[in-house]
Amino acid sequence: MLSLKKMNLHEDYFRSIMFGLQDGLVSTTGVVVGISAGVSDRAIIILASFVAVSVEASSMAAGQYSSEKAVHQMDKSGKHTDSLIKGALLMFFSYLGAGLIPITPFLIFPPDTARPFSIVAALIGLFAIGFLKGKIVKLGALRSAVEMFIIGGFATAVGLIVGTFLKV
């Protein structure tokens, strides 16, 4: 059975990884699907997607560092022992790695073909991440998977709707 103790993983690092994976998949899928619905030029879709995932991963890492530093500064008991840099790096690489999943189909296929592959890959990824999270925290893995799938699906739909209505 998976657990944070068995994995020797600090709970703050686990949070950084989970947040990075989920947000990397959801945000990047929303961006890439939204852009591809509004623009037909494959090069623009790929460029915008890589710019977005790079900026977002960097921003999330900076936010992780700053917010966790504030928590450390407020904590007078010394119970927060995690490394701010390690947490930020875990956030960055989790976000970036997950963000590459919905971009990859656009590197292989034309936009109209890539779009459904991108959405399906992201939703499968979300389901898998949710399932794994449920196993690690020892709470309904299937429920956790479905919850992450629904939340991610909603956010992806928003990107698709906006891109479709604002088509250029």
92-146 pLDDT per residue, tens: 999 999 999 999 999 999 999 999 999 999 999 999 999 999 999 888 999 999 9
- Please count the residues of the chain: 168
Residues whose CB falls within 8 Å of the CB of residue 74, separated by 6 or more in sequence, listed in order = none
Q: What percent of the chain has pLDDT over 70?
A: 95
Element holding 83 (H helix, E strand): none
DSSP string, 64-79: HHHHHHHHHHH-SS--
Specify the pTM.
0.89
Element holding 142 (H helix, E strand): helix 141-165
Q: Is the pLDDT of residue 2 over 90?
A: no
